[in-house]
Amino acid sequence: MASQRSDKSGLSVERTQVSDQIVLVVSGRMDAENAAQFEKECNACIAEGHTSLVADLSGLAYVSSMGLRSFLAAAKTLQGLGGSLRLCCLKGLVRQVFEITGLMQVFTVYETVESAVLEAKP
């Protein structure tokens, strides 16, 4: 089960499944024009009954404040349902933005997709 949504502004959100976890592979540039695309994909997963999501940010080259807001909004929604949004594979500029804004302490961040998926196991 893999779906991909991308738009002309350069953001791609691809849904894959690893073990029993939904992984959203986010790549490109996340800004005010397209940040809502990530939230929409998260909401689609939630509507299907998934409350634990992993966001693989290895391909994300840029994130704006609106992008950060989308991550926070999705995490808050999932937390309200007893679930979580786990981030993994942050690197370069995106990692720096998360560090500078203090969001590394807000989110549970993993080095690899595998470690984020394993953490979700009961």
Could you tell me the mean pLDDT of each successive run of 10 residues in the chain, 122 residues long?
52 94 97 95 96 97 97 96 97 97 95 91 57
Q: Are 74 and 107 in contact (CB under 8 A)?
A: no
**The pLDDT value given to residue 122:** 54
Q: Which amino acid is at 103?
A: L
* The predicted structure's pLDDT at residue 119: 81
Predicted local distance difference test score (pLDDT) of residue 1: 42
Sheet of strand 84-88: strand arrangement: 3-6, 11-18, 21-30, 52-63, 84-88, 108-110
What is the pTM assigned to this prediction? Answer: 0.90
Domains of the chain: 3-119 (3.30.750.24)
